[in-house]
A and B are shown apart, each in its own frame.
Chain A
Amino acid sequence: MARFAGHDEAAGRLTSEQFDLLAGQIELLPTLPGVAARAVAAAVPQTDASGDDDLVALVRCDAALTAMLLARANAHGSAGTVGEARDVLGPAGFRAAVVAACCVHDEADTVEADLWHDALAMACAAEALSGPFGCDGERAFAAGLLCVLGELGLQAALPKGSARAADAAAGGGETLDNARQRILGTDAASFARRLAARWRLPAGLRDAIWLHDQSAETIRVAAADADLAATVRLARAAAEQAHLLHPGRGAEHDAAPRALDDLAVQFGVAPEAVHRVVEQLEARVAGLVTRMGLDRPASHRERIDALTAAAGRLAADNAALHDRARQAATHVDALSCGRDLAAACRPDASLPEAVTALARIVARLSGADGSAAAYGLATDGDTILAVKLEPGTTADARTARRADGAPPAAGERSVVLRALLAETSDLAGWLPPAATLHVPLRIGDARDSDTRDNWVGGLFVPPAAGPVASAAAPLLAAMLGEALARARGTELAERLARACTALDHARDALAEQKSVAAIEAMASGAAHELNNPLAVISGRSQLMAERSDDDRQRRTWTLIAEQAHRISDVITELMNYANPSPPRPEPVDPAALLCETQKSLGESKESQAAGLEVDIQDGASRCRLRADRSQLGEVFAELVSNAAAAGARTVRLEAESDEFHDAVVLRLIDDGAGMDPTSVEQVFTPFFSDHKAGRRLGMGLARARRYVELNGGRIRLHSRPDAGTTVHVRLPAAGEDE
């Protein structure tokens, strides 16, 4: 994958324009080797359109190939499905494009295969749910499939950062999207939107991909095709409900179990219809998985054989294309200036595309030499985005930090660069040597020419082209200004979408806070109103037991007293859950605390934790976190008791600092019986218990979550039947001097 110059992936979060540049450099997304081999094999033997159906059926199930073909097709026409893309490109062009895409990537096995399963699950669900929304099934399938477009794009463009974000999310304590936002500066949905815009996918399809995890209200307001976007949103929820999405992409496990029903009702669809789709989804997805060969290990050998077979076919196609290209070349020059102008003015052009188009126009205007550079101010106002063109090379783009102060006036390059660029920038040596004259681009009235607000960019041209460039400057400035306004609009829309997500989370948190407050009020009232009669019942029973000579009667009276205390314990648990003591944080050694907890649990005869072995990973004994020792001890006690109750023989503690060393992520992994997905969803709900016999109070994990959150942390749980349980606890790290 090509990278735009000047970007160091280790440098961290990127700006809006840098993401546009990245999106612009992604021509093809990598597919899995096994899929590529099957696609090439399906493409090669065909000599006419009649045999294309198999190829279309295969390609429509692959997000990478679907995206690539839609991008190709939308460069020439309009296509929202693979079938339409085939019609736009023609059978030969369609086959050639598939084979070419499958030949280009040789690092495809670095891509996460889980994505294909997730994509198929969402696609099948979207197709099945398209009816109630009145959408075309094939279009809904494509939109569902392409929900993973942003993730594929980020993995292809920023492999290291994406892997770090995936590791951070897998370590627990945050969602994949939060980790991406923190580490890369974007989330997959926003990046998908940029890719879709870059490839000119239909607006309805683009928004359905972008908004696939947003709330119903956001979709209604923001989506170009609200029905399609709603179909995809509901499809995602259905795939989650069917447990077909891999961890990280699915909803948080503590999400309300009725979320799917609520969403269906908000979209005006009967929940029963959605449940039917959920029931049938696994079988539908399994069929497609088999068809694509995802259930078999991917084979490089198979792919190489297919590619060899394709080579001859491609050579013939290439020769034919070469002839056609030669014929067309004579018309290109005449058309290209107009094309560049059109590219800069295109309503969906990104800022980098507009600046590149400006550079091309200026290079043409500057005559035979053809070297020029153009720059535009990025949406953050602190970055400039520059593109240079030199004869015989492709456009080269990079970003640089802008100097503070007033915009530079027209003049010599060296003077301008000093005024324009921060000292650390290396653009001075990078600009084409012939382009020595600076022409600033300003929008609006000449009287405002000294203000910073109307400065949108500038041109570097050879001196001879100066007069022409100056004459064209107002028009070019208007084009650039429009692109900048569009870029700002895009960024605002993305921020708004993120704000909507944050608002949704805040709303959920508020709802939970309200329910906790209601529990507190109820428990406080119950404590007073119930504990008095319970005290009378218990006290009188104790007196009766004491006065009774009959053993059987004495046991009965004692039992009544004990049960009264048991009812009171429930109220006490609720009170502690709703209104716990404020934490008193101190540095804590989690490994030592876990051993201590297990030991004291093991001393109790009734405890099942007696035989449980605690295995501390080396790294865990070096981590120190900051929390209330007694509350964290109770969290550990609950987790260890649960592991023991699930028949675990060992509990392994792993711990590591997160990359900024401000948090510690603990993982408690047990080898117990594990839980089914329904239990996992409800495990933090007060009074939930999956113990069939010997039922416990069911407040333990709810209280554990409350304690972790009170201490500024998060707790998540992953479990599968017969595969043990892993609990991730993220807590603030202790300071270095503690």
Chain B
Amino acid sequence: MRHKAVYTTGEAARICNLSQQTIIRCFDSGQLEGFRVPGSKFRRIPRDKLVTFMKANAIPLEGLDDDRVRVLVVDDDPQIVELFTDVLEADGRFEMATAQTGYDAGVQTQQFRPDVVVLDYMLPDVNGDAVCRTIRENPELAHIRILIISGMVNPGEVDRLKHAGADDFIKKPFNIEKVIERIVSLARG
């Protein structure tokens, strides 16, 4: 996993183990240098400026060196979640979090800041396309790749999910190697 060149405030907060609000305050006061995305108010922090900020404030740099792919697995079936946990943790290239409902998925997306969300389509509270749309509506989360994984295989549904913002679709049951390959290739974007 290569290092990122530019971070969002959320990513910087995660790396520094600070709240996003603290990072924003430091950015606005000039303590943390960066730039705003042209035509919008969103803040971006180049890697070297972040390193400078961390050193100046004695913040440990380990968070910066963690180049594992962050995967959020969302499925209401605990056995599926457990399977992914076994597979991804054994692989070593992934850091993972899990959620069993659409609501949990929303919270975890904000907190965990995953690179890839592996999302079951049929969730107990909302459907996968609603989760997709929620993620896509937040520009702060624009980097997140969404891999839908479902037992439903209707081609019309797949089109609809892609339209709602899903990046790829895999049918259950799946080939484990192929799922891992797909997660890695999505994370590399």
Residues on A facing B (Cβ under 8 Å)? 524, 527-528, 530-540, 542-543, 561, 564-565, 568, 572, 575, 579, 581
Contact = CB atoms under 8 A, between A and B. Distances in A.
A539 B170 CA distance: 14
Q: How many residues of B sit at the interface, in one of the four size bands? A: 20 to 34
Given A531-B173, A535-B174, A568-B171, 17 more contacts: A527-B152, A530-B151, A531-B171, A532-B79, A532-B80, A532-B151, A535-B83, A535-B172, A536-B77, A536-B83, A538-B173, A539-B87, A539-B176, A540-B83, A542-B176, A565-B173, A572-B153
B155 interface: yes
Contacts of A575: 153-154
Given A531-B173, A564-B173, A565-B173, A539 B83 contact: yes
A536 B79 contact: yes
Interface in B140-189: 150-156, 171-177
A307 B172 CA distance: 80
Nearest to A542: B176
A660 B174 CA distance: 51
Q: What 10 A-B pairs have minimum CB-CB distances, sorted nearest first?
A: A531-B151, A538-B173, A535-B172, A535-B173, A531-B172, A536-B79, A539-B83, A534-B173, A527-B151, A542-B176
Given A534-B172, A542-B175, A581 B156 contact: yes
A533 B173 CA distance: 8
B176 A524 contact: no
Contacts of A531: 150-151, 171-173
28 contacts: A527-B152, A528-B122, A530-B151, A531-B151, A531-B171, A532-B77, A532-B79, A532-B151, A534-B172, A534-B173, A535-B83, A535-B151, A535-B173, A536-B77, A536-B80, A536-B83, A538-B173, A538-B174, A539-B83, A539-B173, A540-B83, A542-B177, A565-B173, A568-B171, A568-B172, A568-B173, A572-B153, A575-B153
Contacts of A568: 151, 171-173
Nearest to A568: B173
B86 interface: yes
Interface string B15-26: 000000000000
A224 B124 CA distance: 63
A637 B173 CA distance: 26
Contacts of B151: 527-528, 530-532, 534-535, 568
Chain B interface main SS type? mixed
A365 to B, nearest CB: 77
Contacts of A564: 173
A286 to B, nearest CB: 53
A524 B152 CA distance: 7
Contacts of B80: 532, 535-536, 539
Given A527-B152, A581-B155, A543 B172 contact: no
A573 to B, nearest CB: 10
Given A534-B173, A535-B80, A543 B154 contact: no
A572 B171 CA distance: 10
Contacts of A538: 173-174
A579 B87 CA distance: 34
A607 to B, nearest CB: 23
Contacts of B122: 528
Contacts of A532: 77, 79-80, 151, 172
A91 B83 CA distance: 94
Nearest to B177: A542
A583 to B, nearest CB: 12
Contacts of B152: 524, 527-528
A524 B173 CA distance: 15
Contacts of B155: 581
Q: Which of B79, B155, B172, B173 has the most CB of A within 10 A?
A: B173
A561 B155 CA distance: 24
B173 to A, nearest CB: 4
A543 B80 CA distance: 13
B28 to A, nearest CB: 47
Interface in B77-108: 77, 79-80, 83, 86-87
A408 B180 CA distance: 90
B156 A543 contact: no
B77 A539 contact: no
A31 to B, nearest CB: 59
Contacts of A561: 173
B161 to A, nearest CB: 15
A534 to B, nearest CB: 5
Given A524-B152, A532-B80, A543 B173 contact: no
Contacts of A528: 122, 151-152
B174 A539 contact: yes
Contacts of A530: 151
A265 to B, nearest CB: 39
Q: Which of A524, A532, A534, A561 has the most CB of B within 10 A?
A: A532
A543 B176 contact: yes
A532 B172 CA distance: 7
A431 B31 CA distance: 114
Nearest to B120: A532
Q: Which of B86, B154, B156, B171 has the most CB of A within 10 A?
A: B154
A581 B86 CA distance: 37
Contacts of A537: 173
Given A528-B122, A532-B77, A536-B80, A579 B176 contact: no
A467 to B, nearest CB: 80
Interface in B40-75: none
A536 B171 CA distance: 13
A533 B176 CA distance: 15
Contacts of A542: 175-177
Contact of A543 (B77, B86, B174): B86
Contacts of A534: 151, 172-173
Nearest to A565: B173
A207 to B, nearest CB: 50
